[in-house]
């Protein structure tokens, strides 16, 4: 992008952010009620059966060791599901299977009631609307926060399309909205490299949000964050709940306590217990393998 175009883009976005701020003071929904900036997806997810994600009898072995062992689990649309469990329980491997990075040896993995995820490649699954946040932030440090978010819209497009890419009005609105959601509106034009660890994590979540995913998988999102950053991340996740479905793997129990409805405990590659945090914390088997006495 030429400096000239960048400046124009910056001015456009500043004007939109001001308009959005004004609007959010007028409406309870922060302007979201207008349905702005929705990215159109080729394929709708059928959630008429009340499930956005459905795993049944999933097993995967690495050199004869069952990392995932007859795992069955499902998630409702708009739900924020927390996953806990000891190291090596298979939490990351489960996300690898959902996102197409690892193929199970057997079992069923459905997105909604009609999309068989085992028939799709990793990039296709991202396109279908499943976003994944890995443990380490992977933002582009030499680019600004704004440019990182803009770049998130260009992924999966051809080189030519990327070179001539220009934000349309809906995308500009969405970018401004995401900047507010992830608490980075004040640093839109700072280089990502100067952000704190927590802010980099939020930026990466913002990059996922630019694609408007239906399901977000987040692996240990608050690891390494300060207490204050962890609190703001809890607020962020609670604000995403309902609009997106979320699966969050974490060890931080006070964070889980703030955000969770249903908690699933994984152990040895399958579900050991499920319920409210209080319920699973009182479960003898969970205390034995994970929480300790």
Comparing CB distances to ligand ADP, the nearer of 132 and 232 is 132
Comparing CB distances to Mg ion, the nearer of 54 and 134 is 134
Comparing CB distances to Mg ion, the nearer of 52 and 217 is 217
Instruction: Compute how many residues bind Mg ion; rule: CB under 5 A.
Output: 2
- Does 148 interact with Mg ion (rule: CB under 5 A)? no
Using CB distances below 5 to 8 A depending on partner kind, what does residue 67 bind out of ligand ADP, Mg ion, none? ligand ADP
Whole-number minimum distance, CB 95 to Mg ion, in Å?
8
Backbone dihedral angles phi then psi of residue 264, each to the nearest 5 degrees: -110, 130
Whole-number minimum distance, CB 64 to ligand ADP, in Å?
10
Whole-number minimum distance, CB 88 to ligand ADP, in Å?
4
Using CB distances below 5 to 8 A depending on partner kind, what does residue 189 bind out of ligand ADP, Mg ion, none? none
CB 71 within 8 A of CB 58: yes
Whole-number minimum distance, CB 200 to ligand ADP, in Å?
21
Comparing CB distances to Mg ion, the nearer of 91 and 214 is 91
Comparing CB distances to ligand ADP, the nearer of 144 and 264 is 264
Residues in contact with ligand ADP by CB under 6 A are 62, 67, 85, 87-93
Whole-number minimum distance, CB 83 to ligand ADP, in Å?
9
Whole-number minimum distance, CB 87 to Mg ion, in Å?
7
Site track 79-108 with Mg ion (rule: CB under 5 A), x = hit: ------------xx----------------
Ranked by CB distance to Mg ion, the top (closest) residue is 92
Whole-number minimum distance, CB 95 to ligand ADP, in Å?
8
**DSSP secondary structure string for all residues of the chain:** --HHHHHHHHHHHHHHHHHHHHHHHHSTTTTGGG-TTPPP-SS----TTS-SEEEEEEEEEETTEEEEEEEEEEE-TT-EEEEE--TTSSHHHHHHHHTTSS--SEEEEEETTTEEGGGS-HHHHHHHTEEEE-SS----TTSBHHHHHHHHHHTTS-HHHHHT----HHHHHHHHHHHHHTT-GGGTTSBGGGS-HHHHHHHHHHHHHHT--SEEEEESTTTT--HHHHHHHHHHHHHHBTTBEEEEE---HHHHHHH-SSEEEEETTEEEEEE-HHHHHT-HHHIIIII--
Comparing CB distances to ligand ADP, the nearer of 63 and 186 is 63
Find the angle CA(250)-CA(253)-CA(257) to the nearest 5 degrees: 105
Comparing CB distances to Mg ion, the nearer of 91 and 174 is 91
Q: Return the residue matching tokens 């500009």.
A: 172
Binding site for Mg ion (CB under 5 A): 91-92
């Amino acid at each position: 992008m030429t400096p000239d175009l960048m400046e124009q883009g910056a001015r456009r976005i500043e004007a939109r952010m001001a308009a959005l701020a004004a609007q959010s003071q007028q409406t309870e929904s922060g302007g979201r009620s207008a349905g702005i900036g929705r990215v159109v997806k080729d394929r709708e997810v059928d959630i008429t059966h009340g499930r956005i994600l459905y795993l049944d009898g999933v097993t995967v072995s690495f050199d004869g060791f069952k990392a995932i062992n007859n795992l069955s689990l499902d998630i409702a649309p708009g739900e924020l599901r927390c996953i806990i469990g000891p190291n090596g329980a298979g939490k990351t491997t489960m996300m690898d299977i959902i996102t197409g990075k690892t193929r199970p040896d057997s079992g069923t993995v459905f997105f909604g009631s009609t999309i068989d995820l085992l028939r799709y490649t990793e990039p296709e699954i991202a396109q279908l609307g499943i976003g994944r946040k890995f443990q380490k932030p992977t933002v582009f440090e030499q680019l600004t926060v704004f440019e990182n978010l803009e770049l998130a819209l260009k992924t999966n497009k051809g080189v030519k399309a990327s070179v001539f890419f220009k934000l349309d009005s809906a995308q500009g609105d969405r970018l401004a909205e995401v900047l507010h959601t992830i608490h980075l509106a004040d640093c839109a034009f700072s280089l990502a490299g100067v952000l704190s660890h927590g802010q980099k994590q939020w930026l990466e979540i913002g990059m996922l949000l630019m694609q408007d995913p239906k399901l977000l998988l987040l692996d240990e999102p608050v690891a390494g964050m300060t207490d204050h950053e962890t609190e703001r991340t809890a607020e962020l996740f609670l604000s995403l709940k309902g609009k997106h479905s979320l699966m969050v793997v974490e060890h931080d129990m006070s964070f889980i306590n703030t955000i969770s409805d249903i908690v699933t405990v994984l152990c040895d590659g399958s579900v050991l217990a499920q319920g409210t945090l209080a319920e699973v914390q009182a479960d003898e088997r969970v205390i034995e393998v994970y929480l300790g006495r």
